Amino acid sequence: MKSFDETWEEIHATREWGQYPSEPVIRFVARNYYQRNRAEVKILDFGCGGGSHTWYLAREGFDTYAFDGSASAVSRVNQRMEVEKLQADVRVRDALDLDYEKESFDSVIDSAVVCANTYENIVAMYREIYHLLKPGGKLFSISFTTGTTGYGTGKRIPGGGTYVL
């Protein structure tokens, strides 16, 4: 693992981490992809964690892919997909060691994942996302900034103004 912080494995191994998607993600997907043939729209949930966005995308009929560095998180997401009879390709991967085909996704969803890294890793992740997107593909990214409630809490990551729990 190059960028994954083991703190997230501890979190996902010991508690639930969100079951429902955020409203901004729903709005983004609805505005950009509801009018298309959803089965032909390939979306990557970049660092899926508890899988709330993965679940939503699969439930809405999109060609859904997701990864997380936490084996516990991926196991929970796959269990949920199985119980609800939904399809998604969900695997354990590091955000800096992805093996997806270049220019293969219509969209990538980053819900406050990339921002929790060193500056160097953040730049590398966005570069990778750019290469994963089809021409005209869209990135949805939520990031925390210095003005965000809770900024500065947790353990500071060297090499930038980012923190982990």
- Kindly list the domain boundaries of the chain, sorted by start residue: 7-164
Range with lowest mean pLDDT among 3-17, 36-50, 76-90: 3-17
**Residue percentage of the chain with pLDDT more than 70:** 93
Cβ count near 115 (within 10 Å): 19
- Could you report the per-residue pLDDT of 51-89, keeping only the tens digit for each? 999 999 999 999 999 999 999 999 999 999 999 999 999
Burial of 126 (0-12, 13-18, 19+ CB in 10 A): middle
Q: Is the pTM of this model over 0.85?
A: yes
Options 3.40.50.970, 3.40.190.10, 1.50.40.10, 3.40.50.150; CATH for 7-164 is: 3.40.50.150
List, for residues 116-134, the tens digit of each pLDDT value: 788 888 999 999 999 999 9
pLDDT number for residue 164: 67
